Amino acid sequence: MRCPFLREAQVKFCQASPYRKFIVRLPEQTARERCSSPDHVDCPAARQHQEERPSLSHCPFLHESLVQYCTAASVAKYVPYTESANTRCGTESHRYCELFLAISGPDQEARESADRFPRELHYSPNHFWLDLGEDGTFHIGCDAFLTSTLGSAERVSYLQEKGACQPSVVLSVGGIDLPFVFPKEVTLTGTNTLLRTDPDRLFADPYGRGWLFEGTLPRRRDENGNGAITDSLIAGTEAAAWAAEESKRLSEMLQQFASDRARSPMPVLADGGMPEESLGHVLSRQELLRLHTAFFSPIALWRPKK
């Protein structure tokens, strides 16, 4: 599905000019322009490129082209059809465009507040989400459990930005570098580089402006016989039960931390509430590393399911 803000236009431009400027072609302007009349011989730009048999009806350097442009942008940027394949506008990846998200933001936020684990997504046991488009494009990010647990990060670093790999990112939380690895090998075409200068996007909007990776599916099965990218991932309909189990595990781990701090052999009584968010800046270095290992590291993939 292409972006609803994508439009097409016929433009004209001068090949004799040192600057390539696209002008939208309007039928009523043709009769008044110099380029489409014999008056083109008086054009200074055309005089510099003389031809043996110049056309008398119109300028030989006048060319037309079909382009695409975004109506959501404040300034229209015309992209030739020959280069449109390199943009996300014609694929389902347009749903993660900054301009598209800015316009559709309220609906996105309403969906997230109603469901911390949107059912149309797939989730890995170490808390990545995967949004797979029908055209083979995909986006990957960290789910709301991970972002709310950590709270914030000072820095986001990508280990690889393009090519076949297991997408990996390092979040610096409280001065501690924590690695996060998506469990499937995919082909990346790009990353959300805006997170480098504004890591808060990841935590404020994890399913939208905070996406991490984008790419396309591999064309064949890998050497280990792994098939669909969604194999071993948690389907959206099972996400609610899985999230409840993860919250229970987190609560039990925090009670153990409290017991260790109190040096008590018995668990410290809790009030039965939900675990506090933004634990990344409350826990000690050792506690944060233990939490990361139990929930977010690749080791979490090996934990047997109940």
Domains and CATH numbers, the chain: 6-86 (no CATH), 115-306 (2.40.50.100)
C-beta neighbour count of 7 within 10 angstroms: 13
- Nearest Cα residue to 250 out of 205, 206, 201, 283: 283
- Nearest Cα residue to 88 out of 45, 41, 40, 139: 139
Helices (H), the chain: 27-30, 44-47, 98-114, 144-150, 194-197, 200-204, 239-262, 285-295
% of the chain with per-residue pLDDT over 70: 74
Looking at residue 171, its pLDDT comes to: 96
Confidence of residue 266 (pLDDT cuts 50, 70, 90): low
Looking at residue 224, its pLDDT comes to: 46
Looking at residue 199, its pLDDT comes to: 95
Looking at residue 177, its pLDDT comes to: 95
Residues pairing with 65 in the sheet:
11
Per-residue tokens: 209: 């402006």
- Nearest Cα residue to 215 out of 252, 183, 247, 190: 190
**Distance (Å, whole) CA 186 – CA 305:** 24
Confidence of residue 111 (pLDDT cuts 50, 70, 90): very low
Read off the pTM. 0.74
In 3-state terms, what secondary structure has residue 57? Answer: coil
% of the chain with per-residue pLDDT over 90: 33
More confident residue, 54 or 97: 97
Confidence of residue 226 (pLDDT cuts 50, 70, 90): very low
Mean predicted confidence (pLDDT) in 78-82? 69
The pLDDT mean for the chain works out to 78
